[in-house]
Amino acid sequence: MKWVLVVMCILATTVGDVFRSLGMRHHGEIRDFRPGAIGAMLAAIARNWMVIVSTCAMAVSFFSFMKLVSIAPMTFAVPMSAATFIPETLLARFFLRENVDWRRWTGIGLIVIGVVFIAQ
Amino acid sequence: MPATEGVHAKTRLWAAISVISNVAGNSALTHGMHEPGAIGNTPFALIAALFHPWVALGVTLLIVWTFAHMALLSWADLSYVMPVTAIGYVVTAFAGKFFLGEIVSPARWAGIVLITAGVTLVGRTAPASPLEGDSR
């Protein structure tokens, strides 16, 4: 059960983050943070299919993680949540075509190792 | 203020909002979930748990996090936002130390140093990749 939740959580978070990035890139940079503009932005992104896929995936991720922390210790759940960094960085580089230079690869490597330590 | 500095400042502000709402939201949620009777094993029990006060506060803060995260991703790379907001793991460790009196073991200190170094390294890159045909 624990490992099923871990796999669900990693897959759903990865899909959620990648589609959120795609959807928001398609929407364009948010520059106006007044309440009316935020309302209009939310109405626009509610019709963006990439954001809808992302939101559904994030809901799966949220409920899986909620269930995971209720049955497993945080020392297990927290490092598992950081496992998404690896597939997400690979997808950011090869699918989203982002400029992932050595500083980003090294930084992400340090963070993943750090999360394993910090959860002890 | 030069344009790149403006983007860095705006990114730092929204990354801070994202990290604080995420850490506070997850803490409230975890606190609520560990209270007796807060969660059962059926899908209905999971939905009913959303009306528990601590869980509701956690969910509200996670909605703020969702908006801040979306705003960040509208101008910054996923491979920038994801590692930079990982400073939340360090904030959680310090919150545990100062608010809950948790002991930070040598392994945890090593984790804090490694994550902070990683976030600093990624934070020195430009938040957005210059992509052909990109509207950012």
B7 to chain A, any CB pair closer than 8 A? The answer is no
Q: Which two tokens stand for residue A37?
A: 């503009």
Residue-level pLDDT at A98: 94
The number of C-alpha atoms within 13 Å of B134 and in the hemisphere containing its C-beta is: 19
- Whether B35 is in a domain gets the answer yes
**CA B58 to each of CA B63, B73, B93: distance values in angstroms, whole numbers, following the listed order:** 9, 22, 18
Alpha carbon of B30: minimum distance to chain A alpha carbons (Å): 7
B131, part of any domain: no
CA dihedral B60, B65, B70, B71 (to 10 degrees): 110
pLDDT band per the 50, 70, 90 thresholds, residue A66: confident
- What is the per-residue pLDDT for B71? 94
Question: Residue range B105-132: average pLDDT?
Answer: 89
Domain assignment present for residue B114? The answer is yes
Q: Which residues, numbered 59 to 78 in chain B, qualify as contacts with chain A under a Cβ-Cβ cut-off of 8 Å?
A: 62, 66-67, 69-71, 73-75, 77-78
Residue predicted with more confidence, B46 or B58: B58
How high is the ipTM of this complex?
0.91
B122 and A103 in contact by Cβ < 8 A?
yes
- Cβ contacts below 8 Å, chain A against chain B, sum to 157
Tokens representing B9 are 């400042």
How far is the C-alpha of A107 from the C-alpha of B117, rounded, in Å? 7
Is the pLDDT score of B23 beyond 80? yes
Interface-testing mutation among B70, B72, B91, B113, with chain A (most A C-beta atoms within 10 A): B70
C-alpha to C-alpha distance for B31 and A113, rounded to whole angstroms: 26
Q: In this predicted structure, what is the pLDDT of residue B115?
A: 95
Residue A15 has pLDDT above 90, yes or no: yes
Write out residues 53-112 of A within 8 Å (CB-CB) of B: 58, 62-63, 66-67, 69-70, 74, 78, 82, 85, 88-89, 91-93, 96-101, 103-104, 106-111
Instruction: Answer yes or no: is pLDDT of B2 > 60.
Output: no
Distance from CA of B73 to the nearest CA of A (A): 5
Range of the domain at B13: 3-123
* Confidence category of residue B39, pLDDT binned at 50, 70, 90: low
In single-letter form, the type of residue at position A120 comes to Q
Query: Three-state SS string across chain A, please?
Result: CHHHHHHHHHHHHHHHHHHHHHHHHHHCCCCCCCHHHHHHHHHHHCCCHHHHHHHHHHHHHHHHHHHHHHHCCHHHHHHHHHCCHHHHHHHHHHCCCCCCCHHHHHHHHHHHHHHHHHCC
Res. B36 pLDDT band, cuts 50 70 90: low
Q: Which of A101-105, A110-114, B37-41, B42-46 has the lowest mean pLDDT?
A: B37-41
User: How many separate domains does chain B show?
Assistant: 1
Nearest-CB residue to A114 (from B75, B105, B118):
B118
Q: For residue B132, is it within any domain?
A: no
> Do A118 and B74 lie within an 8 Å CB cutoff?
no
Of A98, A109, A117, the CB nearest to B110: A117
Q: What is the DSSP string of chain B?
A: --HHHHHHHHHHHHHHHHHHHHHHHHHHHHHHHTSTTS--SSHHHHHHHTTSHHHHHHHHHHHHHHHHHHHHHTTS-HHHHHHHTTHHHHHHHHHHHHHH-----HHHHHHHHHHHHHHHHHHTS-SS---TT---
Q: Does residue B81 carry a pLDDT above 50?
A: yes
Average pLDDT over residues B36-42: 65
Average pLDDT score, chain B:
84
Which residue on chain A is closest to B37 by alpha carbon? A70
User: Chain B: nearest CA to A96, how far in angstroms?
Assistant: 9
Q: Let me know if residue B133 belongs to a domain.
A: no
Asked whether the predicted pLDDT for residue B136 surpasses 50, the reply is: no
